[in-house]
Structure 1
Amino acid sequence: MTSKQPDISRLGFWTVSSSKQGQGVGNLTDNNTTTYWQSDGQHPHTVSIKFPTRHDIHTISIYTDIDKDESYTPCKIRILAGTTSNDLQLVKDVDLAATEPHGWLSLPLVEPLMAHFVQIEFPLNYENGRDVRIRGLRLLGPPPSDGMFKNERILPFTTPEFHTYESLR
């Protein structure tokens, strides 16, 4: 998957609602689509990402493979966001029942989202499957603009990750 949007996934602290032994949260961001996170428990299954500072999120990309995972593939996805897990609001609701997702599914947000906390919920699977498998998950920030890295900056950082920490509060 190529994108001009920076991958800000590694800037957050990731947790999952449950996982099978050896198929945990680390498999979501390892850039290897042969590994996967597999939940273990009741619906809805969730992936939560907590950022130390608010981040601008433009797109969420999820890698699924219905050919390999069949009933483990989610057919409904909800994206919620807020400042903590206690004030989450629904941002996007995606129904994949009419498609058979295979590969990277790009979920652009209608409005860019500034959030401390993002939760991706998988409430329903194909064929009424119980557990879910996700082979990759990325949170993408805004595409860099032409004027973003001008010399007027106080510090000579050149990546969006460094610009996040450019100013002190």
Structure 2
Amino acid sequence: MAAESSEGEEEGKLSGGNRLLSVDDDLREMGKNAAWSVSSCKPGNGVSSLRDGNLETYWQSDGAQPHLVNIQFQKKVKLQLVALYLDFKLDESYTPSKISIRASDGFHNLKEIKSVELLKPTGWIYLSLSGTDPRETFVNTFMLQIAVLANHLNGRDTHVRQIKVYGPRPNPIPHQPFQFTSREFITYSSIR
């Protein structure tokens, strides 16, 4: 997971990263259920490069900032975590340094739910979408927008190598089939 830096001016910025994706078993990847779009891209470096599972490919924007990734769902979903793969060592000035995550039921009423500054990230960066209330561990939304507001070294275009969005699993006990607990339901739970 990303670590907080504690060096003077760099305090409060996320740095680090992990080459291997590590997510709790009680979360599932929700991106496959969404329609993805970007504000701009260089030919051959579009949305498909964000979702292909290959850390060597990347989305490259081609226009003015902010650079946007829009993730739209057909129905309201609970989202808990965004994982971004960034690589400052390879991408340098193309690496995002400031990201805003926004949520809503459409483009017309987006509200920022998370803003983060990054310090030379290399690897998976995890951004929790929990609310200000400690009981809110997720965001319930139709749309998520990831906005790259600035890049390292004042770079213009951006590279993001992978994005994954996670929500809670519907089954409260991960990787186990649902089981009835009352005697009445157990009696009628199998076909005879």
Report the TM-score when normalising by structure 2.
0.75
Offset at 1:151? Answer: 3.9
The one of 57, 66, 73 equivalent to 2:95 is 73
What's the secondary structure of 2:86's corresponding residue?
Answer: strand
- 1:26 maps to amino acid: S
Residue aligning to 1:139: 165
Report the alpha carbon displacement of residue 109 of structure 1 after superposing the two structures with TM. 1.5
Q: Give the C-alpha shift of residue 100 in structure 1.
A: 1.4
- Counterpart Cα distance in 2 of 1:67 and 1:49: 27
Instruction: Classify the secondary structure of the residue corresponding to 1:145.
Output: coil
Summarize the alignment of residues 15-26 of structure 1 with structure 2, pairs less than 5 Å apart: 15-26=37-48
SS in 1 for 2:99: strand
Q: Please name the residue that 2:120 is paired with.
A: 100
Which protein is bigger by CA-based radius of gyration?
2
Find runs of 4+ consecutive structure 1 residues off by over 6 angstroms: none
Rounded to whole Å, the distance in 2 between the matches of 1:141 and 1:80 is 16
* Alignment correspondent of 1:123: 149
Query: Which ranges in structure 2 are unaligned for 5 or more consecutive residues?
Result: 1-20, 132-137, 181-192
**How many residues of Structure 1 are paired with residues of Structure 2 in the alignment?**
150
Which whole-Å CA distance do the structure 2 matches of 1:42 and 1:92 have between them? 22
The amino acid of 1:135's aligned partner reads: R
Q: CA deviation at 1:26?
A: 0.6
Report how far residue 146 of structure 1 moved: 1.6
Secondary structure at the counterpart of residue 41 of structure 2: coil
Q: Secondary structure at the residue paired with 2:54? A: coil
One-letter code aligned to 1:150: F
SS in 1 for 2:63: coil
Matches of residues 57-68 of structure 1 in structure 2 within 5 Å?
A: 57-68=79-90
Which one is further off, 135-144 or 80-89? 135-144
Superposed CA RMSD: 1.4
Equivalent residue number for residue 84 of structure 1: 106
User: What are structure 1's unaligned runs of at least 5 residues?
Assistant: 153-169
Aligned to 2:32: 10
